[in-house]
């Protein structure tokens, strides 16, 4: 067993910390959240220069050849400061879907600009009717001459309104397929959608959108579905890591408030009832940190049962720990916690968003309980 970061990983964590401190305090997100462009393309390019956008991709695809532990280090750091750049949406979801399903030529065409910080790729998999089950999308893709015609609607596409490419899941006669759609393609209608956490998403309507066969990523069927499911596990593990950063920040903020705020002539942190609540939050953050390690280490595990079990346990824990920590953070801040001017509410809402996407608590508890090994 080894829970230590390697020296490279420690360096990465330090770089992220320095970056957040110098270039991305929470005020940056606060200003951007109302903008039509809710994140900063210059910062995205800077992340590309730092090599962060290449982390989970293999070297032959121009990547750094890292793993989800490194991705987790970056996302935990970004989560602590609510950095709004679409790292989870574009690198972990859109990027790995493209890299794992796509050909070398497709990597060169779309992945390279992402790695360089010049493009954003979103994953459009969520639909209203199917909730978190991605196996049989309502969106269809039919052969149309040498290309494809796509019809359907995708909701809450993370990072989707600014994305240069969208990886769309659709039902073909041979099973689930993955296709690259661009905003300018005929029949593609994209609309910005405000989200609860201020980070923004898109609604994507495909009205007989026509694309060439060069937009097909791999073969429809089990292969494409397998990629999508693996990518969503990476995404769920990444959400746990980001959520850990969010939870840790809320705990730190709350403990600081308890030391600072005075009532009845003493810091309110001297009251045992509040101390014990803060300890309950601390315990949940410690457990969440343990589960984030489990999730990031196992997120790309080839053994389906081991991977799904670990990721689902961790994502379900993000729901219970995240809910408790964020609700108590507001409670312990009192009235100020209700105001928009205080940061704690921004974190509260980011936690809500992370729990609503990539499988909610019910989905993951059910998936864990459905594993063959559960009853054994």
Alpha-carbon gap, residue 54 to 114, rounded angstroms: 8
8 A C-beta contact, residue 310 and residue 295 = yes
Shortest separation between residue 355's beta carbon and other proteins, angstroms: 14
Q: Is 123 an interacting residue with respect to other proteins (CB under 8 A)? A: no
When the beta carbons of 71 and 228 are compared against other proteins, the nearer one is 71
Q: Is 325 an interacting residue with respect to other proteins (CB under 8 A)? A: no
Residue from 267, 342, 352, 356 binding other proteins (CB under 8 A): 267
When the beta carbons of 77 and 86 are compared against other proteins, the nearer one is 77
Alpha-carbon gap, residue 78 to 245, rounded angstroms: 7
Q: Is 3 an interacting residue with respect to other proteins (CB under 8 A)? A: yes
Burial of 31 (0-12, 13-18, 19+ CB in 10 A): exposed
Shortest separation between residue 182's beta carbon and other proteins, angstroms: 35
154, β-bridge pairs: 204
Q: Is 203 an interacting residue with respect to other proteins (CB under 8 A)? A: no
Piece in contact with other proteins (CB under 8 A), picked from 88-96, 163-171, 214-222, 269-277:
269-277
Shortest separation between residue 124's beta carbon and other proteins, angstroms: 30
Residue from 286, 304, 334, 339 binding other proteins (CB under 8 A): 286
Alpha-carbon gap, residue 56 to 29, rounded angstroms: 25
Residue from 269, 322, 337, 359 binding other proteins (CB under 8 A): 269
Alpha-carbon gap, residue 75 to 80, rounded angstroms: 8
Q: 84 CB contacts (<8 Å, ≥6 apart)?
A: 28, 29, 32, 33, 38, 39, 40, 198, 199
Phi, psi torsion values for 124, nearest 5 degrees? -105, 90
**Contacts with other proteins, residue ranges (CB under 8 A):** 1-6, 8-9, 66-67, 69-70, 255, 258-259, 266-267, 269-272, 275-276, 278-280, 282-283, 286-291, 293-294, 296-298, 313, 316-317, 365-366, 368-369, 374-375
């Amino acid at each position: 067993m080894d829970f230590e970061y390697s020296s490279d990983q420690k360096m990465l964590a330090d770089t992220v910390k320095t970056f957040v401190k110098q270039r991305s305090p929470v005020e940056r997100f606060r200003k951007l959240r109302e903008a039509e462009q809710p994140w900063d393309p210059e910062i995205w390019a800077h992340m590309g220069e730092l090599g962060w956008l290449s982390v989970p991709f293999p070297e032959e695809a121009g990547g750094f050849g890292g793993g989800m532990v490194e991705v987790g280090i970056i996302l935990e750091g970004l989560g602590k400061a609510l950095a709004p750049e679409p790292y989870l949406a574009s690198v972990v979801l859109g990027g790995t879907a493209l890299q794992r399903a796509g050909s070398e030529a497709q990597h060169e065409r779309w992945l390279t600009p992402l790695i360089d910080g010049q493009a954003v790729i979103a994953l459009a998999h969520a639909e209203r009717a199917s909730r978190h089950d991605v196996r049989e999308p309502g969106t269809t893709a039919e052969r149309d001459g040498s290309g494809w015609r796509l019809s359907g609607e995708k909701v809450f596409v993370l990072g989707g309104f600014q994305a240069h490419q969208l990886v769309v899941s659709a039902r073909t006669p041979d099973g689930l397929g993955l296709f690259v759609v661009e905003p300018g393609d005929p029949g593609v209608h994209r609309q910005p959608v405000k989200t609860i956490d201020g980070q923004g998403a898109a609604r994507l309507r495909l009205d007989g959108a026509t694309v060439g066969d060069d937009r097909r990523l791999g073969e429809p069927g089990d292969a494409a579905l397998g990629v999508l499911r693996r990518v969503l596990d990476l995404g769920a593990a990444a959400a746990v890591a980001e959520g850990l950063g969010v939870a840790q920040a809320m705990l730190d903020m709350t403990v600081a408030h308890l030391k600072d705020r005075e009532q009845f002539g003493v810091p309110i942190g001297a009251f045992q009832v509040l101390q014990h609540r803060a300890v309950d939050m601390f315990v949940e953050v410690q457990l969440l940190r343990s589960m984030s390690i489990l999730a990031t280490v196992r997120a790309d595990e080839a053994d389906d049962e081991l991977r799904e079990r670990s990721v689902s346990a961790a994502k379900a824990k993000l729901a219970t720990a995240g809910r408790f920590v964020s609700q108590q953070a507001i409670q312990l801040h009192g009235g100020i916690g209700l105001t928009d001017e205080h940061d704690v509410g921004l974190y509260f809402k980011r936690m809500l968003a992370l729990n609503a996407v990539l499988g909610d608590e019910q989905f993951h508890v059910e998936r864990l309980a459905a594993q063959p090994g559960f009853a054994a």
